[in-house]
Structure 1
Amino acid sequence: MTSRTVTGADAAPAASKAAAAYQAGEGGALDVDRAFYDRFAGVRHELVDSFEIPIRSGRAWTVPQGHLCRIVTVEGPQVGDLNVWNLHDPRERMWAARTRQLQRAHISTYDRIWSTLPFLRPLLTVTADTLADYGVDGDGGRVHDLLGTRCDPYVNRMLTGEDFDFHCHSNLVRAVLPYGLTEFDVHDVLNVFQCTGLNDDDQYFMKDCPARVGDHFEFFAETDLLCALSTCPGGDLSVPLWGPDARDPLDVCRPLGIEVYRPDAALLTGWTPPARAAYGNLHGLRRPEFCAGE
């Protein structure tokens, strides 16, 4: 079995040395307490929920604050499209674009997914990633991307002239209906286990999923979460979905497993759930001035 780490002559061209635009000082909002999240590694936790999501479908589930959630490739390579909301206020949901800026375009261990305005806080922190050693391949591909978004039937109709109701967008729409959410609540995704990048023409590309049986992506819930995942109808993406060579990739579609764990309370010592953004929400507007005597 060959390693998935890509180095040396086969590696991508040297990356830009330009500094990241968004930075914080030592101990600031972007400085993750790695020692805290390392507590969960190599420890047996109490399993409180587990299930499989069949091929070309979606499911939503809850992850309580302070719990771990693991997404597993139970039968081999398969891409999953993940949405995340604050369970108690779905107006607060994952913000893919800001997460790309504050963390990176392809996330792994210790990276966080940040929520939308006016909340702007970590919804989850990645605690384990068995594909972390994939690195950067010869095409510049990396794993677990926030570059692209979910496949959807609207683009499919535009490109092919045909309707198909089991794209990730549709899978997620059906998944969240029992929680009172609609198509308008489905948002840009984290493409778990998906290998992507930008080509020389600055165009988005997707490659074969490098995951194997038993690979997993695990995160810690910083607040009570509602999660939804679609098992992408493109399967492991080894078959072109659009263009002259496109065909139905049904034979490369596989289920994904979900496991939710409750860590021992002692492991949470010193952890404080993140507060919403401290900004006062005035946006340059003045507070109303009341009449004298009021």
Structure 2
Amino acid sequence: MAEAVPAKRRKSSPWTYDHKEGGPLDVNRTFYGKLSMNPATHQLAEKFEIPIRSGKAWKVKAGQVCRLLTIRGPQVGDLNIWNLHNPRERMWAARTRQLQRAHITKFDRIWSTIPYLRPLLTITGDSLADYGVDEDGGRCHDLLGTRCDPYVNKMLTGEDFDFCCHSNLVRAVLPHGLTEFDVHDVLNVFQITGLDKNDRYFMKASPATPGDYFEFFAEIDLLCALSVCPGGDLSVPLWGPLSRDPIDTCNPIGVEIYDVEKELLGNWKSPETAVTAYKNLHGITLPQWK
């Protein structure tokens, strides 16, 4: 029997979704770098502020750039994304973790659910990219966890609380014809998270300051919804013996949407869905008529 290799001597495992150069996971950094918000080439199309402990949904057209900003201080936001014209195609947090990473930043993408499986957006700017990895293994802009919700709050505290991120998102999408069943796992923007030595999820206070931003380019027409987390900057425990109402740590989040000069887009076009390549019969043989 071969001798077991101690953990500290093992080589790091290869990335599961490694790919050939020039493949679909490669991003043209020169192209997307030019799309980062620039007053000389971008025209502000819409601007608004989402108040504390609330949510809002909005549209971003294919080829536009959207920027989320911590305008007054640190604040975590829970982001959902759908195909504007087909909400069955929506962001897929789990596959994005695998194809990109568990915490995403500039030049990473958010991918959609199967059978569509294509990039919904490409990140073009992140002012917190330099945060890196802290002493506890925490990183920023999290796909590991998901939204707070009134169901887990009731289970852990025995109390009703209707301003969880899940509830904020539900209320935000109702005017767009969506329901609670359309709300899905989120991207936690401006949030620091990681896994501790016992492989358990932890959250830390957001490092964002006024003017920090997270920015993305819409690859297709999008419906976006953001909850300004009732937990504020997450510096106060939400559950457990040390928990208290963190309302004094809450700040609004700003949203800006920009039109991009057509010359910058060049020959860019929205990506095709995966179903155009794989006909999704899943091994089923169609009947043959004589």
TM-score by length of 1: 0.93
Matches of residues 235-246 of structure 1 in structure 2 within 5 Å?
235-246=232-243
Give CA deviations for 1:25-75 in whole Å, capped at 9, x if unaligned: 111110111111011236211000110000000000000000000000000
**Separation (CA, whole Å) in 2 of partners of 1:247 and 1:87:** 38
Name which of 13, 17, 21 aligns with 1:22.
17
**Separation (CA, whole Å) in 2 of partners of 1:24 and 1:251:** 46
Q: Which runs of 4+ in 1 moved over 4 A?
A: none
- Does 2:213 match 1:211? no
- Match of 1:101, SS? helix
- Does 2:262 match 1:265? yes
- Does 2:156 match 1:159? yes
Counterpart residue number, 2:250 = 253
Give CA deviations for 1:149-175 in whole Å, capped at 9, x if unaligned: 000000000000000000000000000
- Match of 1:220, SS? strand
**Separation (CA, whole Å) in 2 of partners of 1:214 and 1:29:** 33
What is the CA distance between 1:113 and its match in structure 2? 0.2
What is the CA distance between 1:106 and its match in structure 2? 0.1
Question: What letter corresponds to residue 248 of structure 1 in structure 2?
Answer: D
Counterpart residue number, 2:27 = 32
Name which of 47, 53, 57 aligns with 1:50.
47
- Match of 1:39, SS? helix
Counterpart residue number, 1:130 = 127
Say whether the 8 Å CA contact 2:29–2:107 is kept in structure 1: yes
What is the CA distance between 1:279 and its match in structure 2? 1.0
Say whether the 8 Å CA contact 2:133–2:139 is kept in structure 1: yes
- Match of 1:37, SS? helix
Matches of residues 142-157 of structure 1 in structure 2 within 5 Å?
142-157=139-154
What is the CA distance between 1:287 and its match in structure 2? 1.8
5+ long unaligned stretches in structure 2? 1-7
Say whether the 8 Å CA contact 2:138–2:194 is kept in structure 1: yes
TM-score by length of 2: 0.94
What is the CA distance between 1:288 and its match in structure 2? 2.0
Counterpart residue number, 1:190 = 187
- Match of 1:133, SS? helix
Name which of 33, 41, 66 aligns with 2:36.
41
Say whether the 8 Å CA contact 2:109–2:119 is kept in structure 1: yes
Say whether the 8 Å CA contact 2:37–2:65 is kept in structure 1: no
**Separation (CA, whole Å) in 1 of partners of 2:132 and 2:13:** 19
Matches of residues 172-183 of structure 1 in structure 2 within 5 Å?
172-183=169-180
Question: What letter corresponds to residue 41 of structure 1 in structure 2?
Answer: S
**Separation (CA, whole Å) in 1 of partners of 2:95 and 2:158:** 33
**Separation (CA, whole Å) in 2 of partners of 1:106 and 1:209:** 14
Name which of 212, 218, 222 aligns with 1:221.
218
Assess, with a 3 A threshold, how the Cα gap between structure 1 residues 172 and 264 changes in structure 2: closer, same or farther: same
Identity, % of aligned pairs? 69
**Separation (CA, whole Å) in 2 of partners of 1:81 and 1:288:** 46
Counterpart residue number, 2:229 = 232
**Separation (CA, whole Å) in 2 of partners of 1:17 and 1:270:** 39
5+ long unaligned stretches in structure 1? 1-12
- Match of 2:151, SS? helix
**Separation (CA, whole Å) in 1 of partners of 2:155 and 2:115:** 34
